[in-house]
Amino acid sequence: MEFYLTFLLFLIGIWGIISKENLIKKIIGLNIADSAVVLFFILIGHRYGSTAPIMEKGIKNVVDPLPQALMLTAIVIGICLTALALALVLKMYKEYQTLNISQIEKLAEDE
């Protein structure tokens, strides 16, 4: 059930990227899709009834820490990507005075 919800969340993010004209809404859609991917990998690495590997002596009934470590890295990369995208959107807004992508394309062609 959780896998279907993460897939639905990913589709909502992709829909926001594709269908919206506002650049801020596209960035929000990208963040939603990124969060869905992180949740999916955390779900893959989770096992019921198991504990963290640092708390156990020996290898028995522990969770694999690799997906969690990779997703911490993915979260940091997602935050950096969001900051970069917002900085670019801010510069585009200062240049064209709009956040609508079709209007920006039209104004860029006129120049």
The Cα 65–Cα 63 span in angstroms is: 6
- Confidence at residue 68, expressed as pLDDT on a 0 to 100 scale: 82
Q: Is the pLDDT of residue 103 over 80?
A: yes
Is residue 50 within 8 A of residue 66, CB to CB? The reply is no
pTM over 0.75? The answer is yes
What pLDDT score does 15 carry?
97
Q: What share of the chain is helix, strand, coil (3-state, %, to 5)?
A: 75, 5, 25
Across the chain, the runs of DSSP E, i.e. the strands, are none
Query: Which CATH number covers residue 41?
Result: 1.10.287.3510
Domain limits for position 41: 2-110
For the stretch 3-40, pLDDT in tens is 999 999 999 999 999 999 999 999 999 999 999 999 99
In SS3 terms, 20-42 reads as: CCEHHHHHHHHHHHHHHHHHHHH
Q: What's the pLDDT score for residue 56?
A: 52
Q: What would the pLDDT profile of 42-87 be if each residue is shown by its tens digit?
A: 888 777 767 666 655 666 777 777 888 899 999 999 999 999 999 9
Q: What is the total count of domains within the chain?
A: 1
